Structure 1
């Protein structure tokens, strides 16, 4: 049989109708009645339990993993509305998928990382290839979570990690993670990929530094209190032209923090990696990002650059094709920063960008993605967290 994959998509407003339509189409394309895995990305306008319930019913209770996103990406559509759902149905006798999940990632990321690793360990095999991780974008602190996760795994189980952080259409109130019938928040879902397959990937951001180098002078975990001895918020205000109190969300769509990429990773990545400013505390003058920092770390204020983003997207297929070496992909998963969608590009531009990627890798490929609150993908052999990026993973 090999591997059969189908994609379904719906923008119906009824959660039951949307879930059923997307799931039926995915099964029809895959040519199966019960798949080995169902991956679901959906936006948050739906009653989530009803949506997932409908998909589970149509797919005969097949294992299901996924999360909410700011928008959905498939072969023929890029949709950023409150009502969109994409379903990937996979059946294979050469590749296997095991899923698990953990809750409470916002309470103690280290404990959550250890807990997920303990659940993952029994699912590992000699031919395990990668993990796909989908986590709450409003609660995730990557560094302590993944450090604890990898430290708890056996050495043979420290695999590449790909994925994205669940989003909620800019509301920053509540995101959702899907594990079979469960709808989680402050959770993380994991797919263990094993079997006769490999993963090729490409990663690119599209930001440029503005102004001089800065230094973090007071921080704790992923909270930055002072930059160059000044409250972090006061420093950031220097780079915002509009009314700060009113335009905070708009400002942070295009304004981020850039950190020097470690020397051993620069061959496969840009000079800087970028962090989204996920929260601020006006009273403390601090900002929170999605990975930890230490005092004395240099940083640059960075802005999105549209032309750099366009050029960068063209480099992703080149990166992937080098690894594919002529082999045919089985499926594609795309994790795209929410700020690389409608806030920067018009609808036709967004579609043109995605179609360009798809043409370069293969327009007939099963393709599913979502707009995220953060992206995960390895640089060389190191699992890394990204903001303001596109991460495209191809299973082949």
Structure 2
């Protein structure tokens, strides 16, 4: 048997029927009686608990992980509507799947990261080769959580971490993380893959600097108060035409902050890791990002470039095929920033980008993904949170 993988999706508005339809389609695709593991991504128009119950019913109670996204992705299909669900069912005698979940319970990001490490340790094995994480995109300062998670694991069992921060439909009100029967908020869902398979991956963002180096001169945690001795918002206003407040939503989707990576991490990626300005405080003149920073940190104001995005996806597939060495993918997971969906591309443009990406890796591959509030993938062996990026992971 090796590994059999089926993918199904549904756009039905009835959550129970949508879950059943997507799960049945996934299992029928490869004539599967009961999968060993199930990935699920869905949008938030659905009644999340009912959706999961129906998927679990069809899949015989197989272990399940995933989360809500602003949209879902499968082979040849991108759907950012409010009622869509994608299911990947996997049966394998080459891989094993261990999934855990941790509730935030009002704890700090670092405390949640350490708790996740404790839970994950129970399902780690000597042949574990990859970790997938789906965390609440609104509840956590994720970078400290990630560092605490890694630090809580034995050094010889630290793994490449992939995944994304769960999303909703741009309301930023409530996102969901899936673990078996439960669709929860304020949690982290984690999957450990073990066995004889391997992973190949690529990540790109398609952003370019629009000015010279700037310096963070006052900050606290993930809030930047001053850049070059002036309020952060005042510094950003230098790059904006018109009223900053009136155009903030559009501005924050096109301008972002770039932090230069150490030289030894830039190979095969880019000079900068990108951060989305997820919130601003007009009174304090500050902006909030998804990772902690320190006074004296260098940054660059960057903007998105569609041509660079196209080039980045091409280099991503070249990197993945090079890592696989001619072996075909068993299945592919894609984690795409919400800012690279319909807010930037017309429908036809999105499909063209997806088609180019997918066909470079194979034909009709089992493929599933979602639009996230932050993407997770390693750069040169170091796990990072990314924004405005596309992360593609091939399990082969």
TM-score bracket relative to the smaller structure? over 0.9
Matched, 1:308 2:305: no
- Equivalence map 1:1-396=2 (5 Å): 1-104=1-104, 107-396=107-396
1:242 & 1:338 partners in 2: Cα distance? 25
1:125 & 1:380 partners in 2: Cα distance? 23
Deviation, structure 1 residue 248: 1.6
1:197 & 1:364 partners in 2: Cα distance? 20
Deviation, structure 1 residue 143: 2.5
Deviation, structure 1 residue 230: 1.1
CA contact (8 A) 1:334 1:390 kept: yes
CA contact (8 A) 1:105 1:188 kept: no
Deviation, structure 1 residue 106: 6.8
2:65 & 2:291 partners in 1: Cα distance? 24
Gapped runs of 5+ residues in structure 1?
Answer: none
CA contact (8 A) 1:9 1:87 kept: yes
Deviation, structure 1 residue 50: 1.1
2:15 & 2:137 partners in 1: Cα distance? 23
Deviation, structure 1 residue 142: 2.7
TM-score normalised by the chain length of structure 2: 0.98
Q: How many residues align?
A: 396
Distance 1:205 1:106, change over 3 A: farther
Deviation per CA, 1:104-137, whole angstroms, max 9, x where unpaired?
1874011100100000111011100010001111
Question: SS in structure 2 opposite 1:307?
Answer: helix
1:87 & 1:73 partners in 2: Cα distance? 10
2:39 & 2:333 partners in 1: Cα distance? 10
Question: SS in structure 2 opposite 1:352?
Answer: helix
2:105 & 2:213 partners in 1: Cα distance? 33
Deviation, structure 1 residue 237: 2.3
CA RMSD of superposed structures (Å): 1.2
CA contact (8 A) 2:328 2:362 kept: no
Deviation, structure 1 residue 246: 3.0
1:106 & 1:175 partners in 2: Cα distance? 16
Gapped runs of 5+ residues in structure 2?
Answer: none
Question: SS in structure 2 opposite 1:268?
Answer: coil
Deviation per CA, 1:282-334, whole angstroms, max 9, x where unpaired?
22221111111110011111110111111111111100011000112110000
1:153 & 1:325 partners in 2: Cα distance? 30
TM-score normalised by the chain length of structure 1: 0.98
Deviation, structure 1 residue 241: 2.4
Stretch of structure 1 that moved more, 289-298 or 143-152:
143-152
Moved over 6 A (4+): none
Question: SS in structure 2 opposite 1:91?
Answer: strand
